[in-house]
Structure 1
Amino acid sequence: MKKLAYLSLLPALLTGAANAQPAPIFAIPVTGQLTNGIAAAGQATGYRHGLGEFWVAFPGSIRCTGTWSVRDPNPTIVMPVTCGARVRGEAIVTRQPGFMTGSAIVALSNGQRGQFVFGDLTYEQAFGQGRVRTR
């Protein structure tokens, strides 16, 4: 009888485990702008299982997302970017020592290009005069 009770709980336990969010190990701000001057802000989050996720949102417009390997040891990495259902692109990310600060240049399939910073780096430090800072 006890076995039957435990077996009846098994699906609920498995469902809960499948829906559990992985534990984040860091979350850092991302800010930047497209070449047309439209500002964006978001966040990059790294998880214990080795996956990193980022998102940036443009007010009143699209939201872009992507993933990378948190364990990638290279200071410069290329990440695929998805913005809504139709826009795709690529981000070339250059990370400073410690990998918690850096910059990115982005090219999207709709012709837009952008420049972003994350962590403690200011937009001015990475790209010269601009309007957007992370801190």
Structure 2
Amino acid sequence: MWKEFREFAVRGNVIDLAVGIIIGVAFTTVVNSLVNDIIMPPIGFIMNGIDFSNFFIVLKGDDYPSLQAAKDAGAVTINYGVFLNAIINFVIVAFAVFILVKQVNRLRKQQAAAPAAPPAPTTSEKLLTEIRDLLKAGR
């Protein structure tokens, strides 16, 4: 069983998957920062300083000035502003993955379209060519 597990764990696909997950986690951190620190502040500024992360509906409890205040008070809330941020994150990640896949496909097409060098003659072909040339020269 240990041998089978070791063979499974060191197969190329599993290692590629692990690398992909690690890069994905790092990429998610970058996208979250992009959305929360770069994209959402100007949108909030255009909308008169509204912070999307503070868009919420209180289902049970009093009115609260911010989502954090509602959470601290233990209020039951629907956090649609946080959900809106998650949707924006998803769209950005999906677009980045689309661009990446598009470029990889373009590179693959270029490699497939590139003319391949003719294969080198085999040893048998070389010998037959030499025999042919000797026979021609002997006539």
Task: Please report the TM-score for the alignment, with normalisation by the length of structure 2.
Answer: 0.19
Task: Please report the TM-score for the alignment, with normalisation by the length of structure 1.
Answer: 0.20
State which structure, 1 or 2, has the greater radius of gyration over its C-alpha atoms.
2
More strand by percentage: 1
More helix by percentage: 2
